[in-house]
Structure 1
Amino acid sequence: MPNKPKKNAEQATECPRDIQDICSREASAEANKAVLEGIAALQSNFQLFKAEITEVIDKRLDQFSVTIRAELTAIKKETDLAISAVKNTMDGQAKTMAELERSTTYTSDTVCQLQKEVERLTNSVSQLTEKCTDLESRSRRQNLRILNIKEGEESGRKATDFVAHLLKNALSLDALPLIDRAHRSLRQRSDNTSYPRAFIVRLHYFHDWQNIIRKAAQLKSITYNGEKLLIFPDLPAAILKQRARFNRAKELLRDRPGVRFGFLYPAKLRVTHNGEEAYFTDPGKAIMYAEQHFGEGRVSTS
């Protein structure tokens, strides 16, 4: 019996706590409701703001779209015009290129034909030049060229008689050679201080020409009135030019013991060394032969 009042006291203390809980729950419910109402209001405001922004953006996009379309249309027109102009230019250039290709082909074919024709004509000219040189040489076959006769020595006498006696006396010939023509070379007369003009002589008989050339080659020195004479065959300038290419080789061979040299027609150098003969048509090979056998020096005859 004494414990019952204690239980009642505990019950009495528990009742206010439940009331407090209920009150707090009601307060929380009201707060939550207020929050939800605020959230709903915010959502409503956000939807309105969103709609306004969307409307503004749509209007701006429409304006931009119209502007861009207009600009693209203008650019397309300009591009079409430019492309059309470029196409016309390309078409014109294509036609020009086609014409140039045809012209180049024609020119190339023409040049090939001209090259063949030039080669043919060059060969013909070379053959004709060789024939003309040969004919000129044959026409001069009995001619002599005499150098170092003073100007005026023949004055008062026929040139043919003067040269005939000169050759007979200088070469100790048995008889006077028969001479058809004799004259000085056709250039301006030189004074006493310059080299005299050469005498060009035409012999009537070829055996007289051979005899004179042979004796002139045998004699080391031919003099007339104290002057040293030089007697050569009268050759065309083209052959003399070919023979002049051997001058260096002749310098190396001249005055060598046991060496004789001369030319075979038209320009073949014949070298005789101790009974052995060598022939050269190439000046370089003749120089190599002379240098190999005699070196680059020159033997003096003094």
Structure 2
Amino acid sequence: MTKFPIILRVHLAVQLLSLFIPLFSLLSTVTYTSLSLLQPVNFMKTSPKLKNRHSPVITSNLQLRSQVSPEANPEANDRNMAEANPSFPIDYDILTAKITDVVGAIVEGKMDVINNKLDVIQATLDGNTRRLDEAETRISKVEDIIADMETRLTRVESKICTFTNRLDDQEARSRRDNLRIFGVKEGVEGANAIAYFEKWLPSLLNMKTKNGRIRLDRCHRSLGEPISGSPRAVIMKLHYPTDKREVLALSGKNKQIFFDGALITIRQDVPQNVRQQRRNFNEACQLLITKGIRFRMLFPATLRFTYENRRFSFDSAEEALKVVSAIGKRSRRNAATPIAAWEVLLGVC
């Protein structure tokens, strides 16, 4: 069974009311007329005092009826005879049949109109039902396609993440013997950068090597045009991993290294995304330097340091900054037990 929407039900009810209201009005009019035909004589005779209380309209109507000729209107003649003679017989079956015929004709006409409108409404509902069925079918197909695509997209995202991690790992492995040196003035290496820095690096760090040089596979400046007052970094690949570790160890022991009046900084070469992750720790690292706390940056981007015999390790720059900012501050739960602010943050108190 088809369920009509609420709006269509309301519309149908309004249409039916608009058709039945005139019908009810007609029925009430016919009923009133039939009663007036049957009762006027007895009413007037039972209340003689009310004869003279009729309105002018009723009086004129009665006079008009009396003037109509019997041949012109037999029904009026019968009614006049009934008024003149209360014992005049009235055939109620004929009257009822006439009223039934009139009402039946009117109702039949109205029902024809109602049936026509119902046919139109039913046709509209059938069309809407077909369209809704088609829309539901299409939506169901689209939902199935989207569900399949979401599953495939999840698999693709997982594969992309895996491939990205592998690619980053391969790039990091290809750079693990590389060093970046900052602060070396442009052009000091001349045309042969490898030959120059093979001797320059051991002499800068007082590094003991055979023949006073180390072996480099490649050496060049970083990409980009040189900027006045800001020399590009020197990127070199050492042939022996032991030489790279020794260079980093010596540069770590020497807090400040100068060459030709410029501060030289030596760092492990890492991929671009790792450098960006480490830059996020710059503020926390600066606070650690200000407070005189030594720290290390582990691969790929993990900040580690020790404070008050407790080792800290952070992969999140935000969490590291909160704890480092709280180091050195004291809070009091009570006067007898001072508590470090970083202990409150870590929940160790």
129 and 45 in structure 1: CA distance in 2 versus 1, 3 angstrom threshold = closer
Which residue of the other structure, out of 205, 211, 234, is the alignment partner of 2:246?
211
Q: How does 1:256-295 map to 2 (within 5 A)?
A: 256-257=291-292, 259-273=293-307, 276-295=310-329
1:200 aligns with 2:235: yes
What residue is the counterpart of 1:34 in the other structure? none
Using the alignment, how far apart are the partners of 2:109 and 2:219 within structure 1? Answer: 101
What residue is the counterpart of 1:13 in the other structure? none
SS in 1 for 2:294: strand
Using the alignment, how far apart are the partners of 1:191 and 1:281 within structure 2? Answer: 34
1:110 aligns with 2:148: no
Counterpart residue identity of residue 158, structure 1:
N
Q: Once superposed, what is the RMSD of the aligned Cα atoms?
A: 3.2
1:127 aligns with 2:162: yes
What residue is the counterpart of 1:235 in the other structure? 270
Using the alignment, how far apart are the partners of 1:45 and 1:120 within structure 2? Answer: 102
Counterpart residue identity of residue 269, structure 1:
L
8 Å CA contact 1:183–1:200 kept in 2: the answer is yes
Displacement of 1:214 after TM fit? 1.2
Q: How does 1:132-171 map to 2 (within 5 A)?
A: 132-155=167-190, 157-171=191-205
Moved more, 232-241 or 96-105: 96-105
What residue is the counterpart of 2:126 in the other structure? 91
What residue is the counterpart of 2:206 in the other structure? 172
8 Å CA contact 1:260–1:273 kept in 2: the answer is no
Q: Which runs of 5+ in 2 are unaligned?
A: 1-47, 52-79, 330-349
- Which structure has the bigger radius of gyration? 1
Using the alignment, how far apart are the partners of 2:282 and 2:111 within structure 1? Answer: 85
Using the alignment, how far apart are the partners of 1:186 and 1:254 within structure 2? Answer: 30
Using the alignment, how far apart are the partners of 1:215 and 1:50 within structure 2? Answer: 141
191 and 293 in structure 1: CA distance in 2 versus 1, 3 angstrom threshold = closer
Which residue of the other structure, out of 76, 83, 89, is the alignment partner of 1:47?
83
Using the alignment, how far apart are the partners of 2:260 and 2:109 within structure 1? Answer: 110
8 Å CA contact 1:140–1:235 kept in 2: the answer is yes
191 and 237 in structure 1: CA distance in 2 versus 1, 3 angstrom threshold = closer
8 Å CA contact 1:190–1:196 kept in 2: the answer is yes
Q: Which runs of 5+ in 1 are unaligned?
A: 1-38, 296-302
Using the alignment, how far apart are the partners of 1:151 and 1:76 within structure 2? Answer: 103
Identity %: 27
Structure-2-length-normalised TM-score: 0.62
272 and 71 in structure 1: CA distance in 2 versus 1, 3 angstrom threshold = same
What residue is the counterpart of 2:218 in the other structure? 181
| Structure with larger RCO (C-alpha < 8 A, sep 6+) | 1
Using the alignment, how far apart are the partners of 2:110 and 2:231 within structure 1? Answer: 94
Structure-1-length-normalised TM-score: 0.70
